[in-house]
Structure 1
Amino acid sequence: MYGPSMNFPGGIFGELERISRELDAMFFPSGTSQDIRAAATGAFPAVNIGTTPTSTEVYVFVPGVDPASLDVVLAKGVLTISGERPDDLPAESDGLSVVRRQRFHGKFRRVLTVPEVVDAEQVTASYRDGVLAVSLKRSEDSQPRRIAIS
């Protein structure tokens, strides 16, 4: 069992970092985890990221957020998504005593590092059913292409 006598070379945080690298290598063997980074696991809003040969697709889960209050900015390889989620509970002065509050409310901001090969002119964003979808098209020269043999 783990206990005070357990000794990790480099300390417990070094061991956690090693495990994190090993998990990344298992789930992203081709290095795709390097294409786009979104630190802050468990942060609001939750983010899913996928890649295709021609684009990187980012899905930001923002239920209860008015799409008009969202701001999406791409600058120097950094995608920033910010907005505000309203508080749906009545004020405590209305006779309500809040016992537990698990749903995030207030201003938020997620910052994602994107690949340098993104064509800034080809970035699109759409919102549907509480999900913001941002499509980051890769530049033409970075996309795989078939070479004809003569």
Structure 2
Amino acid sequence: MSDFFFTTDPFSEFDRLQREMANLFGGFPSSLRSGRLGAYPPLNLGITDDSIEIVLFAPGLKADQFDVSIDKGLLTISGERAPVQPEGDAEARPYAQERFAGKFRRVIELPQAADPDKVEARYVNGCLSISVGKREASRPRAITVS
């Protein structure tokens, strides 16, 4: 017996398959170009009426260790996190490690409303916060009806 039951609309099965694939891979938004499970550093994306807000969680780094750029609607954040050497015995070898060390790169596709000339970034308490302003034409506005 088949798992596929066709209704009058054969394309509904493609929609169902797409939803199942999205659930399988965690349902990452399409704007995350490196949205694999366990990607480092983890990040949150948000949007307001005035801006796109990105918060990247990368404790143990310094502000000058990040390279942030925008090109053709893509926000790229890259850097490198050095491994931590155990204190004391120089011959100690790690038994298990969960802390990421090495080069990283995250790429986020920005919406068309993003204004690359209105970007602010700050690094506080292990969080890199990036705010990308929206273009004036894309902001919501009230229209008076007369």
Relative to structure 1, the CA distance from residue 114 to residue 147 in structure 2 (aligned partners, 3 Å threshold; closer, same or farther) is: same
Match of 2:138 in 1: 142
Relative to structure 1, the CA distance from residue 136 to residue 94 in structure 2 (aligned partners, 3 Å threshold; closer, same or farther) is: same
Q: Which runs of 5+ in 1 are unaligned?
A: 1-5, 28-32
User: Which whole-Å CA distance do the structure 2 matches of 1:94 and 1:8 have between them?
Assistant: 58
The one of 121, 124, 128 equivalent to 2:124 is: 128
Relative to structure 1, the CA distance from residue 8 to residue 128 in structure 2 (aligned partners, 3 Å threshold; closer, same or farther) is: farther
User: Which whole-Å CA distance do the structure 1 matches of 2:17 and 2:86 have between them?
Assistant: 42
Query: Is contact 1:49–1:56 with CA below 8 Å preserved after alignment?
Result: yes
SS of residue paired to 1:45: coil
Return the TM-score normalized by structure 2: 0.77
Relative to structure 1, the CA distance from residue 146 to residue 15 in structure 2 (aligned partners, 3 Å threshold; closer, same or farther) is: closer
The one of 52, 55, 62 equivalent to 1:56 is: 52
Q: How many aligned positions are there?
A: 131
Equivalent residue runs for 1:1-150 within 5 Å: 17-21=18-22, 33=29, 36-37=31-32, 39-90=35-86, 94-150=90-146
Which residue identity is paired with 2:32?
A: R
Q: Kindly provide the CA deviation profile for residues 31-61 of structure 1, in whole angstroms up to 9, marking residues without a partner as x.
A: xx56x43522320000001111111100000
SS of residue paired to 1:94: coil
Shift of 1:108: 0.7
Identity of aligned residues (%): 37
Relative to structure 1, the CA distance from residue 111 to residue 7 in structure 2 (aligned partners, 3 Å threshold; closer, same or farther) is: farther
Relative to structure 1, the CA distance from residue 94 to residue 22 in structure 2 (aligned partners, 3 Å threshold; closer, same or farther) is: closer
User: Which whole-Å CA distance do the structure 1 matches of 2:90 and 2:46 have between them?
Assistant: 45
Q: Which runs of 4+ in 1 moved over 3 A?
A: 6-9, 14-17, 20-23
Which residue identity is paired with 1:109?
A: R
Relative to structure 1, the CA distance from residue 137 to residue 71 in structure 2 (aligned partners, 3 Å threshold; closer, same or farther) is: same
Shift of 1:18: 2.4
Structure that is richer in helix per residue: 1
